[in-house]
Amino acid sequence: MLGSLGQARADAGYSIILTAKTHDGVPSHEASAEFGCSDQIYAVITGNGLAKSRHLLEAVWRDPRGKDREHTRYPFVVRHDQERIWVWLKLHRPPEAALVQFMNPSAGMDEFVGEWRVKVLVDGRLIEQKKFNVVC
């Protein structure tokens, strides 16, 4: 149980990037808008001026067909003037496609190819929606 959540301050500033690159297990500051089917895709949120309390980050990942594929809920506590947190999406090949993967690397991944959207909310308030492409 989280207890009471803080409110996302109207004057709080956010920047959001998408990346698949990491350094020592931490997502890079290098943004990208195109990812491969086997990438782990990070939405990296940097918040400035957040109330120093508990908050809830949500990310809704929507596929090219308009289907919500993943809904990430991440409670966090702000302790500093600037916080950097991230959530990620990893696409998984259907088990039956794994057998032919060596002949066709994109086998079973067709439904993931195209333009995706990730909607980022803090304390229920929409912060930003980002578009990105998945290619195989």
- Tell me the CATH number at 68: 2.60.40.1930
Report if residue 7 sits inside a domain: no
CB 120 within 8 A of CB 16: yes
What is the structure's pLDDT at 98? 53
Q: Mean pLDDT in runs of 10 for the chain (136 residues)?
A: 46 89 95 94 94 95 96 95 94 61 60 95 96 94
Report if residue 5 sits inside a domain: no
In the chain, the DSSP E strands lie at: 13-19, 22-23, 26-27, 34-36, 40-48, 54-62, 68-77, 82-90, 114-122, 125-135
Report if residue 2 sits inside a domain: no
What is the structure's pLDDT at 2? 40
What is the structure's pLDDT at 133? 98
Report if residue 120 sits inside a domain: yes
What is the structure's pLDDT at 67? 96
Residue type, 63: D
Domain count, the chain: 1
Q: Are strands 34-36 and 125-135 parallel, antiparallel or unpaired?
A: parallel
CB 25 within 8 A of CB 48: no
Report if residue 93 sits inside a domain: yes
Q: State how far the Cα of 103 lies from the Cα of 105, in Å rounded to an integer.
A: 6
Residue type, 117: R
Maximal CA-CA distance, the chain = 52
CB 125 within 8 A of CB 5: no
What is the structure's pLDDT at 37? 87
Report if residue 8 sits inside a domain: no
Q: Could you count the other beta carbons within 10 Å of the beta carbon of residue 87? A: 20
Report if residue 6 sits inside a domain: no
What is the structure's pLDDT at 4? 44
pTM, entire model:
0.82
What is the structure's pLDDT at 1? 35
What is the extent of the structural domain holding 48? 13-135
Report if residue 24 sits inside a domain: yes
What is the token pair recorded at 136?
């195989």
